[in-house]
Structure formats: structure tokens, C-alpha cells
Structure 1
Amino acid sequence: MKKFEIPSLNEEMGRQVSDYINTLTKPIGSLGRLEDLAIELAKITGKPFPEVLPPGVIVFAADHGIVQEGVSAFPQEVTAQMVENMVNGGAAINVFSRQIGAQFKVVDVGVAADVVDEGVIHKKVRRGTASFLNEAAMTREEAIQALSVGYEEAKGFMETGMKCLIVGEVGIGNTTASSAVLACLTGIKPEEIVGQGTGISKEQLERKIKVVKQAIDRRQPDPQDAIDLVANIGGLEMAAMAGAMLAAAERRIPILLDGFICTVSACIAHLLAPVSSDYMIVSHQSAEPGHSVAVQYLKKRPILQLGMRLGEGSGAAVAFPILEAAVNMTAEMATFAKANVSNKTAASITINK
């Protein structure tokens, strides 16, 4: 498997931008989290005035054999139907991608059905995973292949000029796989992680928790081996999302994380290359209970809290304008000196634009 070479954050650039922000025509710290984000983006990109336009949205689609165990409110065929809806521009992520002017693509990395629409990028590793209650979800080789698909798709996007990565997913059963991976990775009990996903009943929720517990006990994946976790109890789209994040981190591209499944995939990327999480920003706090566990594992703080739990990259796309505001603040606001505004505390600091 490829060795990921991810640079450290540019801490010196962060210090320079922090000092510069304090010379802008406002009380120090008065723009709150926007100032923190501007500094964080400077560290990530190594540039005093980072660019986040255009963003790129990649949705990875895959099915999960675990749906055979009655853990979802929707049947498996919904995955292929949702892929078609995305290609036709009718999904929530399409709406929000258009709103932010994002480049957009859907990648079939493991849909169980044949997806023939020419608008889909066909990179199917296998036709869905196996039910990991009874056998490994996939082979180790398939997990690595899915990771590589995500890496290459993100790499291609960045070669076209994409400046901020948003990854999304679609796949019935993926909250069950994500719950299993996160429970194993953190050692936290499944009942504290497993949520309602697509809107299952109380009885189905109890069944889902039981399935996750039994699957972890039977598969015994190594919590320190990201590929073993994915192969035993994960999903093809999760591996692909992790691969895409690693490609972005290698190239100093900020990664705007979405909700539960995306953030668990980020945990997989972190396990493969710990420095990669320095390039991640959590867009929002999902309503899925396991999301806060994943966020804490990555030591992050969400930007928004809107009660969302759709996935697809939708929450990240909604939060993206806040990143725009942070970089525009630094690039376009006048300093006290330039505006001839009196200020007794701020020194005159210049950063070349």
C-alpha cells in the first residue's frame, strides 16, 4: 500500500496571520471563530491569504451487506436510486453544491446494482460488502483498492484547481458499518454510538446495537490497523473517503468534514496517517450520537449545529460559506494603518498579498 507523505502544518504562517488579523479594523478577537478559521487555513495551505474557491464535492456510493440483518428503514435498492437522483441534480447535495459553485462528481465504488448512468464515475471494487455479522465485509485487498480509488479521484479533482475538499457518501446501511468501526476504534460501547440512521424504529435500533456488538465480537478487528477495521466491519465508500482525504492532506488542501460517516472515515485516515487530521475542519455537529465521539477522537470542534443527519456531504456544503468569510476577512479588510483609524494597541504589520 502507498505510503502517505503529509507535511506538517505551517505554524509560522499561522503566527504571522494571527498578528496580521490583530491589525485589522476591529477589536481584537471580535470576529471570534472566523479569526481562528483564517489562522487554521493559513497553517494548512502555508499561505497568508488562502483560497478555498472552487470547492470540490465527491460523493462515493456503495452498498452494505449488513442491511440483511434488519438494521435500516430502507431497502438496499435505494442506494442506486439515490445515485441516479444525484446524477440528475435532485439531491440535497446537488442543491448545496450549486449554491457554493462546487465542482461535483459521484463515484460508484461498490453499489450492489448496475449503475449505468453516464454521469457516474464507475470505479466499482465489488458489488457491495458482505454482511459483516457473518463474514468479513471485504478482503484486505479490496479495502486497499477502495482507498486507492478515493485517493486518485481526489487527486484528479485537485489537478483541475479545486481548493477545498468536501467528501460525501450514499449507501444504505452505512451508519451501522460506521458505528461498528468507531466502537472498535475507540472502545466505547455501541449503545453510546449507534443512532437511528435513516429513521429506524426503537425495535430496529435495539437490533442494530445487538448486530454491532455481535459483529465486533465475531470479527475481532485490530483497532490499530485501519485496513483491518475497514475490511472486517467497514464499507467501501468509507475507505474511498479516507483515501480522498489523504490525497488532499498531502497537497495542503483543506478538508471540510461532513457528518457521522464522513467523520468516522476521517478517523480511518487519521489512523493511517495521524498528521492528516490537521488538515480537517468539522463543518457541523450531526444529530447522530456517534458523531460527537468521532469529533472528540479527532480533537475537533464543529462550526455549526443544525440538527442535520443526511450525509452526502450536505452539512459541509452548507458550512462552506463560513470558510469563504474567514479568508475574505483576512484578504479584504483594511488595517488600522491603511484606513487611518486610530488604534493604540495594534502594531503595523504587513503581509504581502
Structure 2
Amino acid sequence: MVRHVRFADMSERSLDLDDFSDRIERPHGGLRREAEERRARTGLPAGALGRLDELGEWLGTAQARVPVRPVAAPRLVVFAGDHGVARLGVSTREAGDAHALVREALDGASPAAVLARQFDVPLRVVDMALDCDPAQLPAEVTRHRVRRSGGRLDIEDTLTLQEAEEAFRAGMTVADEEADAGTDLVVLGDLSVGGTTAAGTLVAALCGTDASVVTGRGGSGIDDLTWMRKCAAIRDGLRRARPVLGDQLQLLATVGGADLTAMTGFLLQSAVRHTPVILDGVVSAACALVAQRIAFRAPDWWLAGQAGGEPAQTRALDRMALDPLLEQGVAVGGGVGGLLALPLVRAAGALAAELPQRPADGEDGPDGAGPSEPAGRADGESVLDAT
């Protein structure tokens, strides 16, 4: 099995998205039955833990080990960028204002930053196309920037094809860096102005729907007139996206922008590296839908954190058969929805790892008496070395 394939292994040759179909494997389904049997030995009635059982099994198959290892090193990774389409007035925020959202997150004052601090989750922000002087932000934030803002998707490509490849590779690099650092679960978020318009265009194109079907109110709560402008922008972008549906990198260059392109590369390379990801809102869902077109096994490595009420998100998750863990209607972005789901995933991992196992009929527990040791022990552990 191919397991830890670094981006560097591909760096000397041209980017070929078809490679991902071969490099991405499904989580090890052979362990699911073993996880179910282990769960049955806890003595709890079937279904007593609800969806936590399913999540625990998912973690076990992703880690290729039973019992599962509790989530110990999660990370919130947020890709940021400005979109030229924002100049059409498709958001309540001013075009080019995404850097203010990033500054708020870095200062610990955004909703996602507050939750990340509460849950003890490190925050990483990756600037791909913010419309500001790079000197306004830390160098570790801006080092992957491809360009300053993006083109207007309704009348021009958001990126050149070369810029799209650069952004895609940047996302892959970030995924490798997180895997190498020991990150065992990523919450994927975004910060942008105009990003939900790009996301809606991608989802409409890939799902074969009209602009009005995918146009939502966004995290900024737009009014009816703004909604109409947003719908018109998606309609025009959709006309430009349909002719390039067969080339996913060209599609991202045409209407996606640098941040969404990087997120797509991040999702695919995370699947290659066997790093599970919790999707946040409509933008990450749209990128996941593009990534699924590239590698059909990739969604097995992702969870949908919560349903934010955006119609494009609902369409994308339905197409990938991903059922959100929560339905809180959070549309603020930045990773909030994904972070809200994180405690559930952590709880599932802890229960799958640490619930005591009862001895099977005719067996004694340790020292000939009582129940067996907790499942979190290394004794009796089943680990599939996939390296």
C-alpha cells in the first residue's frame, strides 16, 4: 500500500491530477469488523452510543489500527484570499477586506479563534490571495501567496493556469507539512470576501444546476438586492465554467481563485497522507466536490462538520454522500462549524480507545478474574502497517 507519499516526490515533474486516483486509497475497511467486534465486547447495547460508534470506526479505519488512537494533535488550517467578484457587491463586506478577517483571527478575536483556544487547537492561516501588502501580516502567513486578489469570475479567469498549479501545489505542501508535524486531524476553514460566490459557481457547474439553486446568503447575511447580484455573478461564472468541466485545474483557474484551488490540493494530499479532515462550510464543501472529481476515493477521508444552511453546501455534501455531524446553521466561516464538530470526533475516539472490554464467554479477565483491561492498552492491539 502507498501511504506517506510526500509532495516532494512529485515536485520534479509536471502536476498530473490523474495521479491522485492511484495514490489515494480508501481507509482500511478490513478493520471495521474488528472494531465492531471490539465495540460489542464493551457490553453496551447496540446503538447506545449513536453516531459515536460510526465515528470511532471511521477513525480506526483512517488510522489503520484497532483500538483507535484518541485524537491528540488536531489543527485548524484556514486558507484565505480575496475574490475579484466581490467588486460586484455580492457581500456585505467591502471587496479586498479579507485581510481584516485574517488579522482578527490572528489576534484571537474571531469566532473560530475563540473556539480554537477553548478546544486547545492550534490555528494556522495560509494567505493565498489577500488584497493587502504582505508586510501587514506575518511571513509564515504570506509565504504561499500566489497573487493579490483574483480575477472577476463572471468576465475573466480568476487565475492563470500557471498560478492555479502554483496554488494547488501550495495546498499540497501545507498538507505535507501538517502530516510531517504529526497533525492527526485537520479542521479545514476559509476566510475570504467573495469566496462563497466562487464556491456556488463550482457546485452549480459540477452538479449541473442553475445559479438560483445554489445561491445563498453567505456568512454576511446579504439582503435581497445583494442576493440578486450574487445570483447573477454565479450565473455568468457558470457560463464560463461549463466548457472546462473536464479539466479540474482549468475549472479552478477559471472560477475558483487561489484559496479554493489550494484547499483542493490540500484535501487531496491529506488523503494521500492518510490525514483525516473535517470540512467546515460551503467553501470547503465545494473544494471537496472538485477533489472528488479528481479522485473518487478521497471523500472517505473527510467528515462534514455541520450544515450551515447554504444551498450549495447541501448540494455538494449530498453529491459526496457526506452527512453533517451537526446542524447548527452556523455560516460565519473560518472553521467554526468544523470546530463545533471536533468534540464529537474526539469523544468517539476516546470511547473507542478506552472503554473496557468484557471477556468473551469462557474467558477470564486479567489474573483470572474481572473484566479485561481498557481498550486503550497496547496489549492485543491490531495495527496495520501501511508504510
Tell me which interval the TM-score lies in, with the shorter structure as reference length.
Answer: over 0.9
The equivalent of 2:107 in structure 1 is 88
The equivalent of 2:198 in structure 1 is 177
My pick for the range that moved more, 61-70 or 95-104, is: 95-104
Contact 1:80–1:115 (CA under 8 A) maintained in structure 2 = no
Report 1:330-345 matches (<5 A).
330-337=352-359, 338=365, 340=370
Partners in 1 of 2:114 and 2:292 — Cα distance? Answer: 30
The equivalent of 2:82 in structure 1 is 63
Partners in 2 of 1:330 and 1:316 — Cα distance? Answer: 21
Contact 1:165–1:256 (CA under 8 A) maintained in structure 2 = yes
My pick for the range that moved more, 41-50 or 303-312, is: 41-50
Name which of 30, 39, 42 aligns with 2:57: 39
The equivalent of 2:336 in structure 1 is 314
My pick for the range that moved more, 331-340 or 169-178, is: 331-340
The equivalent of 1:54 in structure 2 is 73
Name which of 230, 238, 241 aligns with 1:216: 238
Partners in 2 of 1:180 and 1:330 — Cα distance? Answer: 40
Name which of 175, 178, 182 aligns with 1:154: 175
Name which of 239, 247, 251 aligns with 2:273: 251
The equivalent of 1:164 in structure 2 is 185
Contact 1:25–1:333 (CA under 8 A) maintained in structure 2 = no
Report 1:168-247 matches (<5 A).
168-197=189-218, 198-247=220-269
Contact 2:134–2:142 (CA under 8 A) maintained in structure 1 = no
Contact 1:129–1:138 (CA under 8 A) maintained in structure 2 = yes
Superposition deviation, residue 218 in structure 1: 3.9
Report 1:64-79 matches (<5 A).
64-79=83-98
The unaligned stretches of length 5 or more in structure 1 are 342-349
SS at match of 2:43: coil
Name which of 256, 269, 294 aligns with 2:291: 269
Report the AA paired with residue 352 of structure 1.
Answer: E
Partners in 2 of 1:171 and 1:302 — Cα distance? Answer: 23
Name which of 120, 133, 136 aligns with 1:101: 120
- 1:10 matches 2:31: no
Partners in 1 of 2:286 and 2:204 — Cα distance? Answer: 10
Report the AA paired with residue 142 of structure 1.
Answer: E
Partners in 2 of 1:219 and 1:188 — Cα distance? Answer: 12
When residues 80 and 125 of structure 1 are mapped into structure 2, their CA distance, relative to the original with a 3 A threshold, is same
When residues 252 and 154 of structure 1 are mapped into structure 2, their CA distance, relative to the original with a 3 A threshold, is same
Report the AA paired with residue 187 of structure 2.
Answer: I
Contact 1:50–1:327 (CA under 8 A) maintained in structure 2 = yes
SS at match of 1:295: helix
SS at match of 2:297: helix
Cα RMSD after superposing both structures: 1.7
The equivalent of 1:344 in structure 2 is none
The equivalent of 2:381 in structure 1 is 352
Identity, % of aligned pairs? 27
Q: Compute the TM-score of the two structures, normalised by the length of structure 2.
A: 0.85
The unaligned stretches of length 5 or more in structure 2 are 1-14, 360-364, 372-378, 383-387
Report the AA paired with residue 343 of structure 2.
Answer: P
CA offsets per residue over residues 78-117 of structure 1, 9 Å max, x none? 2011111112111111111122222221111111211322
My pick for the range that moved more, 2-11 or 248-257, is: 2-11
Superposition deviation, residue 219 in structure 1: 4.8
Contact 2:79–2:127 (CA under 8 A) maintained in structure 1 = yes
Contact 1:87–1:120 (CA under 8 A) maintained in structure 2 = no
Partners in 2 of 1:115 and 1:283 — Cα distance? Answer: 31
Superposition deviation, residue 336 in structure 1: 2.8
Name which of 349, 365, 380 aligns with 1:327: 349
Superposition deviation, residue 63 in structure 1: 0.7
Superposition deviation, residue 223 in structure 1: 2.4
Name which of 278, 296, 301 aligns with 2:318: 296
My pick for the range that moved more, 116-125 or 261-270, is: 116-125
Partners in 2 of 1:296 and 1:220 — Cα distance? Answer: 21
Contact 1:143–1:236 (CA under 8 A) maintained in structure 2 = yes
After superposing on structure 2, the runs of 4+ consecutive aligned residues of structure 1 that deviate more than 6 Å are none
SS at match of 1:106: strand
SS at match of 1:318: helix
Partners in 2 of 1:324 and 1:240 — Cα distance? Answer: 27
Q: Compute the TM-score of the two structures, normalised by the length of structure 1.
A: 0.93
Q: How many pairs are equivalent?
A: 345
Superposition deviation, residue 293 in structure 1: 0.4
